[in-house]
Chains A and B, each alone.
Chain A
Amino acid sequence: MNELIHVENVTFQYPGAEHPVLKKMNLSVEKGEFLAVIGSNGSGKSTLCKLFNGLIPHFYTGDFEGSVTVNGLNILNSSVADLSCHVGYVFQDFENQLVQARVLEDASFAPLNFGMEDYLQRGRRALELVGLAHLADEFVWQLSGGQKHLLALAGCLAMNPDIIVIDEPTAQLDPYHAKEIYEVLKKLNKQYGKTIISIEHHTEFIAEYCDTVLLLNKGSVIWKRPMRQALSEVDLLTELNIYPPQAAQAASRLGADHVPITLNEAVAFFKEMIPRSTPSVTKPEPVQAQEEPVIRFDQVGFSYKSMNKKQAQVLKNINLSLFKGEQVAIVGNNGAGKSTLLRLITGVKKPESGTLTVRSQSVASCTPEKMADHVAYIYQNPEQMFIDDSVKKDVAFFPKARKIKDYENKIDEILEQFDLVDLQDKDSRLMSGGQQRRASLAIGAAMNPSVILLDEPTASLDMATRKHLTQFILKLKEQIDLVMIATHDMQLVSEWATRVIVLHHGQIIFDGGKEELFSNPALMDKAGLVPPQIVTLSLALNVDPVDYSVDSFINRFKEVPEEWPLQKASQIN
Chain B
Amino acid sequence: MGWQRKVLRVNLTEGNVQVEPLNMEWAQQYLGERGLGSKYLYENMDPSVDALDPANVLIFATGPLTGTMASTSGRYAVITKGALTDAIACSNSGGKFGAELKYAGYDILILEGRAPEPSYLKIYDDNVEIVSAEAIWGKSVWETEDYLKSHHQDPLMKVASIGVAGENCVRFACVVNDLHRAAGRSGVGAVMGSKNLKAIAVRGTVGVSVDDPKTFMQVVKDTHAKLAGSDDVKELAAYGTNAMIDMMQEFGGLPTRNFRDVQFEGVDKINPSAMTHVHENGHKNLLANKACFGCTIACGRISHIDKDHFTISNRPEYWHASGGLEYETAFAFGPDCGIDDIDALTFAGFLMNEHGMDPISFGGTLAAAMELYEMGVITDEDTDGVALNFGNAEALTVMAEKTGKFEGFGQILGLGSRRLCEKYGHPGLSMTVKGQEFAGYDSRALQGMGLGYATGNRGACHMKHDVFGPDMEDQSGAGKAVPCKKSQDKISAIDSTGLCWFTSGTWKITDYQAQVDAACEGDWSVERLFETGERIWNLERQFNLAAGLSKADDSLPERLLKEPAKSGTAKGKVNELDRMLPEYYDVRGWDADGVPTQETLERLGL
Query: Do A and B belong to a common assembly?
Result: no
**B interface residues (Cβ-Cβ under 8 A, vs A):** none
